[in-house]
Structure formats: structure tokens, C-alpha cells
Structure 1
Amino acid sequence: MNGEARGGASRTWPAWPQAAIILVAFLVLAVSVRSVLSPFVLFLLYLYLAWPHQSSPFVARLTVVAAILTLLWVAERAGLLLAPFVLAFLLAYVLDPVVDRLQRLGLPRSAAVALLALPLAGVLALIIFVLVPAVANQLSQLIANVPTYLRTLEQWLESVRAWIIRMGIRGIDERTLPTLRDIDAQSLVQYLQRRQAEVASGGLQAVLGIGRGIGAVLTVIGYFVLLPILTYYLLRDWDALRGRIQELLPRAYRDRVVAMAGEYDRLLGRYLRGQVLLASCVGVIIGVGFWILGFPYALLLGLLAGVLNFVPYLGLIASLLAAVLIALFSGHFLGGLLKIGVVFGVEQVLESILGPRIVGQSVGLHPVWVILSLALFSFFFGFVGLLLAVPAAVFLKLVLAAALRRYQVSRWFRGEPVGEAVERD
């Protein structure tokens, strides 16, 4: 009997040849069907294989990393399709405190959301049917006036060159004067005019390229049809969704994650709600101010200031430079500068009064950090990355702050040997 057992054992293969054969077969299969092996499919396969080892801390961390990488891939590949959903989620997040206040007044949550949706629908209709056509009209006027502005630029360059030569400014020697005299402003303007057609053609191709494909069509439909519907249902079920997510958190980490999420909500909510309201006020002040004073392209300047003011100081700088250039090329430079000074002076006074009341104290997001996040996320993930840039910046700030606190209490920071740290503990 022992011989039979030994014979049976001798006929049993060791574990590693079986594993090697299975691995080779799996690799051959993977190469054969590589056209359908997207990262999302690979992530599902990984979950199936890792499920028996879910109690392992290493597998748990690896699953989190794999999930993050898969989400980044989905954001990069399906950003246009996901944009309405992400935007609806952000709108629901921003508007949830308003709904909570209406609930405290005695309204049911569904009624509170519906009551809030009425003015939002009015604002959306105003934007679509009034603001968008007016902005498009001013933009077409700006494009049509480009040749006139180029002729003004030619005259201005010629006058500047003649003034420099006539004044004999210190630092311009005899070797520089022939170069200035040889500058042909007309040639420069002709070059810009040639480039104008190329830039306009490239811009048109870019606009048409965005509109190609089923994904882009669904995105446009989503902005005007799906977005209000998604925002309504997310707002209505926001508290239930948040409670469900908390229930799904592992019990060992639930308290820590909830505490960090509360800090994250405080920082992100204060920044988003404050900046959205402040940017809207800045855009209205600049647009209406320029419109009252009769400055060209008032709505474009107000829209530029409002949208870019989401990043501190960027909207002010961009709209100010654009207004100065418009005043320079329109032929009424001094009068335009006076109007610019009045509008931006009033805007700065009102912003200094409204800013602290709307935004409150600083949330710790440096403007450079915000600009860097917007640039990187929009570069890698397109429009959906632009929407997620600020939430990601707040999250990274909290993670880095927690890592810095742990480092400051570590033995490496204190300069203590390992033995002394253990004895002290």
C-alpha cells in the first residue's frame, strides 16, 4: 500500500510546472485576444483573481492602486462622455447645503430640490437664449474687425519706431539705429494677416473636430438635457448616497476616512462655493460696467473675467490685458484707458468688500497650486480633467499635509536612533 502511495505520488506533478504551464497558456490567450483587453477588462480580471486573497493587506493596497489607475484611464478615454456626469456631481455638491437649509425650513427634500431647480432653469435659459447669442455676435464682430486692428497696429509700430529714432534714447547706439530704420511695420502686419487666416482655419478645424463623433454629440445633448436631470436626482438622493458610501467603507478605516472626508468637504466646499459666487460677481461687474460706459466687447470681457476668475488673479490679469489691447487697437486709447480704470477700480473696491464675506478665510490653496492642477489635469484628461482639477488639488493637499505631520513626529525628523525611539515608546 505504501508502494502504491509512493507510485501515485511519483506520478503527481510538482506545483511549479503546473503553474508555469497555466501561466504560459494564459499569456498565449492574452496575446490572442489583446484587441479586447482594455485596462477596464484587465481590472475586472484582476478583481476575480484577487478575490480569494482579499484579506491580505498587500492585495488590498494593490486593488486600490489598480482602481485608481483604471479610473484615470477611463477619464482619459471617455472624458467627453463623462463630463455631464462629473459636472452634475459637482453642481449637486455645491447646491446640497442650500437644499439642506430648505429642508430645515420644513420642506421635503424633493420639494426643496424642485424649488431650487426653478431659478436655476431660468438662469440656464437666460444663458442659452440671451447670453450665448450676444457673446457669439460680439465674437463675430471682433473677428471681422481684425484687419482694422492690424492696420492700427501698423500705424502704432511705425510711430513708435519713429519716436525712438527721433528721441535718441540712451542705450540705443549707432549699431542699433540701422536695425530700427530697417524695421518694416507693413511687412510685419502682412505676416500677421497671413497667419490670421491660418489661425482662423485652425480654430475652425478644432471646433469642428470637437463636434465630431457620437461621444461629442452625446456630450452636447448631456449638457442641455441630461445635466438638469442628473443634478436633480443626485441632489434628491445626496444624503442617501453619502450614507451608503460610508456603510461600504471597511470598519477598520471608517472613522479615519470619515474624518478626512469631513475636512476635505470643508475645504473643497468653501473654495468651490466661494469662487463660483465671487467669479459670477466679478464677471457681472466688469461686463455691466463696460456695457454702461460703451466699451467694445463688454460681454466678452465680462465672460473672460468671470470664467478665469475661478483661479485667483488670473481673470483680473487676462481681462485687463484684453481690455488694454482692445483700447489700443480701437483707436481711442486714452478714452479707453480711462474707462478701463473706472471699471476695474470699481471692481477691485467691490471685490475687496465682497471677497472676505463670500470666500471667507483662505482655504490654503495657493494660486500657483490651483493653476498647476488645472494645467496638468486638463492636459492629460481634457475637459473632465479641468472639472476634477480643483477637487484633486484639495485631496492632494490633505494627503501631503497628513504625510508631513507623520514625518514631523518620526524618528528621522527628530534625529533619534531606532533603539531610543522604541525605549521612549
Structure 2
Amino acid sequence: MGNGTERPAQGPRGDEWRLIYAAIVLAVAALLAWTVKPVLTPLLLYLLLLALLGPYAGRRGHSLVVVGATVLIGFWLLETLGGLLAPFILSLALAYILDPVVDVLERYRINRALAIGLLAIPMLGVLVLIGAVTIPALADQVASLSRALPDALDRLEQWFSGVRTWLAGLRVPFLPGYEPFRDFALFDPDRIAAFVQERQAAILEGGLGAVLGVGRGVGAALAVLGYVVLTPILVVYLLRDFDGIKRRAVELIPLDRRDRWLAFGAEYDRLLSRFLRGQVLAATIVGLLTWIGLWIAGFPYSGLVGAIAGVFNLVPYLGLVASILPVIVIALLSGSVLGSLVRAGIVFLIVQVIDGSVTGPRIVGGSVGLHPVWVMLALAVGSFFFGFVGLLLAVPAAVLIKLLLREALARYRGSEAFQGAGGGAAAGPD
């Protein structure tokens, strides 16, 4: 150790100059960013950040910054391109569900491409058969419902006029002269109908955009085309290369953290796959029970309502909400509105009790451990910020957050902050 190779220790003066130099560099960088801000998209800034952080790979805090920036750019991409990405995300979800079946066929020495074909052809045949049997019946019910809709609207208007007159004349006991609903008589349904009719094109366009998660006409058209055409093609390609995609993703994980990340990924895969399988089974049961219950109760168009309840129940708790409006419209078409609503309400109550106490907790919630409130919150937040894509990603994100919180809680319980400086429980008062 020679004296010529030793560097003088940095004192307070050196630290001050270093801070001043860093402040100047940041100010110049901010000024430069301000002058070229029209070309600084979030994606370009993300790539620039990764390039700047490259020399610091392996240092403390590097992974945290990269992961945080990746999550933020992912949110930006979903918010910006959500409608266009929906077919790709849906295809990835379907490939994720079907990949274990293809792997099982490969164990029987069946080529992967042939296994995908053996899986796709029967599924396509079943879908065609179901469509050939159910679509004509559902189409007849929808056509009959649309023909009877004008009479239902007339009945609804007559019923509403009676309710309006009754409310306008309602009096509050012990308060003579007080008429709380007097102004309700000024409510004119004809003006509302005219308003809706004048703006029906804009209303329909907005409704389509809300369903697809796209607010622009071109994006909506591309999303519909993607669902119909792109999704099956993408599923086949993803299934063919699914194992290779997983292998290349594993190779990107740092060696010193690979075992830990793979264990976390295996647990996440186990919980998510069990939830998806359970949700498909639960939605099928809800659809069948709704159809059979309404059919036994003599409610018209039971097949249509059951199909709506089953399909929409793939998104947890959405089946009941999506079925309410068709049930009300169908009840207005029947001879006895109140009787039809009561019968449908009893059926929905029974189905929801079965779903809430048997199919939901035992098939879905029990297998994953996600509380219904947590699932509903994830769905609400996902759909609010990202539309239809948010609904697709809500439950996977909820499962991921659950695992991250569980690991963070386990670390906290093993830390000195939880156990005390001495590693044991603190002594209580005498």
C-alpha cells in the first residue's frame, strides 16, 4: 500500500461541490427536456431511463427503479392502447388456459402442432354445434322480444303516468299543505323520449365505446375485428410457442434471484389457473341454474336470460347486473308485470344464494383465497381506468398483489422491527 496510490478523503467541502455539480447537471437536463418535450413520449423516456441505468446494473436500488418504471409504462400503454391490445391480452389468457392440455397431449408423444390441432378442431366443432342449436333459438327470442318492445314501452309509459299522478297528489301526515312530490307532475317523459331519439346515434356510439374500452370509432372497429378474426389465430400461434416464450422469459431473470422468482411464479400460476378454471365452471353453473329456474317458473325467454347470466358471470358478479335489464323488459311484455318480476326475483335470489354459498366460495374463492370484496374492488378499478382490458387483467392483478402483500407481511414478521431488537417479545409491565 503506497502513499502515492491513496486518494484523499472527501471532506464536507468536496461533498458540497458534488451536490452543486449534480444540481447543475439536473437543471441542464430539465432545461433540455423542456425544449424537446414535444418528442418526449413516455415510451421514449422509459427507454432512455433504461439506457442511463445500464451502467448501474447490479447496484442496490437498480432493480426497484427498473420494475417501478416498467409498471408505470405498462399502465400508460394500457390506458393509451387498451382497446387495440384487448385481442392480444384475451388470446394470451386463452393460451394460458389451454397450454396445460397441450402439454398433457405432448406427454403421449403427440407432436405439439398436432396436439393443438386435436384440441382446436373438437372445440371448434363443439362451438359450431352449440351455435347451430342455440343461436337460432336465441335469435328467435330476441326477434320476438324486439317486436313486442313497442307495446312494452307503451305499458311502461302508462304505468309511469299513473305513478307520477299518484306521487304528485301524495300528502305527508300531520303536515297539511306540504306536498313533497308536487313538482314531480312537471316531469314529462315525452321530452325525455324526444331527447334520447335525437341523440340516439351518439348514445349508441358511446355505449359501444364503453363496452369495448375504446372511445374512438376507428379503435372500436379494430377491436371488434380483432375479437372476431385475430383472437383464434393468435391463440394458435401462442400455443405453438408458449413453452419457448416461458423459457426465454426465465432466461431474463438474474441468476442469483432465479430460484426465488420461479417459486413465486409457480405459486402465482397455481392460484391464477385455479381461479380461471373455477370461474368458468361457476359461470356455467349460474347460467344453467338461471335458465332452468326461469323455465320452471314459467318466465318467458328463459334461455336468453340464462345465456346472458352465464356469459357475463365470467366476470365475477356481473351476471346478475347484466340480467336485470332484460328481465325488466321481458316482465313488461308479460300480462302480469308484478307476477313476472316476483317469479324472476325469486329465481335470481335462489341462484345468488347458491352462487354465494356454494359455487363461489367452494369452487372459486376457496381455491384461491380471494375475498369477494377484493375481487369486486379489482374489477371496479380495472374497468374504470382501462375499460374492457381492465376487466381482463383485474383478477390476475389482484392475485399478484395478494401474493406480494403476503410476502411483504412475512418479511415484516421476520424483521427486527416486528420481533424487537432482542429478537423476542418485549417484556411487559410487572
Partner residue in 2 for 1:120: 123
Which TM-score applies when normalising by structure 1? 0.77
Distance 1:280 1:365 in 2: 20
How many aligned positions are there?
405
| Structure 2 residue ranges without an equivalent (≥5) | 1-16
Distance 1:110 1:102 in 2: 11
Q: 1:288 Cα deviation (Å)? A: 6.7
The counterpart of 2:414, out of the listed 392, 404, 409, is: 409
- Residues 379-418 of structure 1: matches in 2 within 5 Å? 379-414=384-419, 416=420, 418=421
In 2, are the aligned partners of 1:83 and 1:219 still within 8 Å (CA)?
A: yes
- Cα gap change, 1:117/1:274 in structure 2, threshold over 3 Å: closer, same or farther? same
In 1, are the aligned partners of 2:275 and 2:365 still within 8 Å (CA)?
A: no
Q: 1:391 Cα deviation (Å)? A: 0.5
Which range moved further: 377-386 or 394-403? Answer: 377-386
- Cα gap change, 1:199/1:150 in structure 2, threshold over 3 Å: closer, same or farther? farther
Distance 2:341 2:113 in 1: 51
Partner residue in 2 for 1:218: 222
- Cα gap change, 1:175/1:134 in structure 2, threshold over 3 Å: closer, same or farther? farther
- Write out per-residue CA displacement over residues 320-371 of structure 1, whole angstroms, 9 at most, x where no aligned residue: 5752563256442355247536855885798677768854834111222112
Distance 2:134 2:223 in 1: 21
Partner residue in 1 for 2:156: 153
Partner residue in 1 for 2:48: 45
Letter of the aligned partner of 1:190 in structure 2?
D
Question: Is 1:96–2:99 an aligned residue pair?
Answer: yes
Partner residue in 2 for 1:206: 206
Q: 1:319 Cα deviation (Å)? A: 2.5
Distance 1:64 1:355 in 2: 34
Q: 1:114 Cα deviation (Å)? A: 1.1
Q: 1:235 Cα deviation (Å)? A: 1.4
- Write out per-residue CA displacement over residues 203-248 of structure 1, whole angstroms, 9 at most, x where no aligned residue: 2232576585554443333222221121112112222222222222
Letter of the aligned partner of 1:364 in structure 2?
G
Q: 1:148 Cα deviation (Å)? A: 3.6
Q: 1:160 Cα deviation (Å)? A: 6.1
- Cα gap change, 1:177/1:328 in structure 2, threshold over 3 Å: closer, same or farther? farther
Matched residue of 2:423: which SS?
A: helix
- Residues 248-397 of structure 1: matches in 2 within 5 Å? 248-287=252-291, 290=294, 295-298=299-302, 300-316=304-320, 318-319=322-323, 322-324=326-328, 326-328=330-332, 330-333=334-337, 335-337=339-341, 340=344, 344=348, 359=364, 361-397=366-402
Question: Is 1:190–2:190 an aligned residue pair?
Answer: yes
Distance 2:163 2:217 in 1: 49
- Cα gap change, 1:285/1:44 in structure 2, threshold over 3 Å: closer, same or farther? same
Distance 1:398 1:260 in 2: 8
Which range moved further: 193-202 or 238-247? Answer: 193-202
Matched residue of 1:55: which SS?
A: coil
Question: Is 1:75–2:68 an aligned residue pair?
Answer: no
Q: 1:380 Cα deviation (Å)? A: 1.5
Distance 2:94 2:411 in 1: 34
Which TM-score applies when normalising by structure 2? 0.76
Distance 1:183 1:280 in 2: 47
Partner residue in 2 for 1:66: 69
Partner residue in 2 for 1:33: 36
- Cα gap change, 1:304/1:24 in structure 2, threshold over 3 Å: closer, same or farther? same
